[in-house]
């Protein structure tokens, strides 16, 4: 039998998630980007700016990011990560 989650357990899980969510940041590896513009297509707040000449995007407005994770999921090159900085 596994233990069923209690309200307290869920609250604690929520708190951990909260601390992580605050610290989550986009890490962009421009060298992997090949310009499919998927991140720009799906970002609901406008963090990404496409550079059509160089076929690359720039992570321009990080301050607007709401950590929804859409760009991370849609990037075919795995050029975007959403993570808590290591240090």
Partner 1 sequence: MATVFMKWLETQPEQYDRGIRLLTLGKLQDLQEQLVELLVRPGMRVLEIGCGTGALTTAMAAKGANVVGIDLEAGMLTQAENRVAASGLDESVDLKHMDAALIAERFEPASFDLIVSSLAFSEMARDAQAYVLTACLSLLAPGGQLAVLDEVSPPGRAARFAVAAVHFPLRIITWLLTRATTHPLRDFQTTLERAGYRARVVDSHLLGSLCLYLAKPRPEDAARRLPDSFKGRLRHRVNLRTMLIDLWAVFFRIIPPYPKVEPGLYSVGEPNPDSPVLVTGNFDLTIRRLVKAIDTRLDVWLLVVDSSGINVWCAAGGGFLTAERIIGALRTSRLDEVVKHHALILPQLCANGVDGWAIREQTKWGVHWGPVRAVDLPAYFQAGRKKTDDMRHVRFPLLDRLEMVAATMGFYGLMILIPVALIWPSSFWPLLSALFGLSLFYAITLPWLPGRDGLAKSLPLSLFALAGMLLYSWRVDSTASPDIFNRFIGLTGLSVFVGAELQGMSPRMRGEQANWGWEAIVAVVLGLAYWLVPILLGWR
Q: Which residues make up the interface to partner 1 (CB under 8 A)?
A: 2-5, 7, 10-11, 14-15, 17-19, 21-22, 24, 38, 41-46, 66-70, 73-74, 76
24 vs 56 by CB, closer to partner 1:
24
Using the minimum distance from each CB to partner 1, give the nearer residue, 5 or 30.
Answer: 5
Helix (H) or strand (E) holding 51: strand 48-51
**Contact of 58 with 51, CB cutoff 8 Å:** yes
Take residue 45 and report the two structure tokens written for it. Answer: 């707040």
Least separation in angstroms between CB 62 and partner 1: 12
What is the C-alpha separation between 26 and 69, in angstroms, rounded? 9
């Amino acid at each position: 039998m596994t233990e069923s989650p209690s309200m307290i357990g869920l609250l604690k899980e929520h708190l951990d998630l909260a601390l992580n969510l605050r610290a989550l940041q986009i890490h962009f590896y421009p060298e992997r980007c090949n310009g499919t513009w998927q991140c720009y297509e799906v970002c609901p707040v406008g963090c990404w700016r496409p550079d059509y000449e160089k076929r690359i995007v720039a992570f321009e407005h990080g301050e607007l990011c709401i950590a929804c994770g859409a760009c991370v999921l849609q990037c075919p090159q795995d050029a975007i990560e959403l993570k808590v900085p290591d240090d």
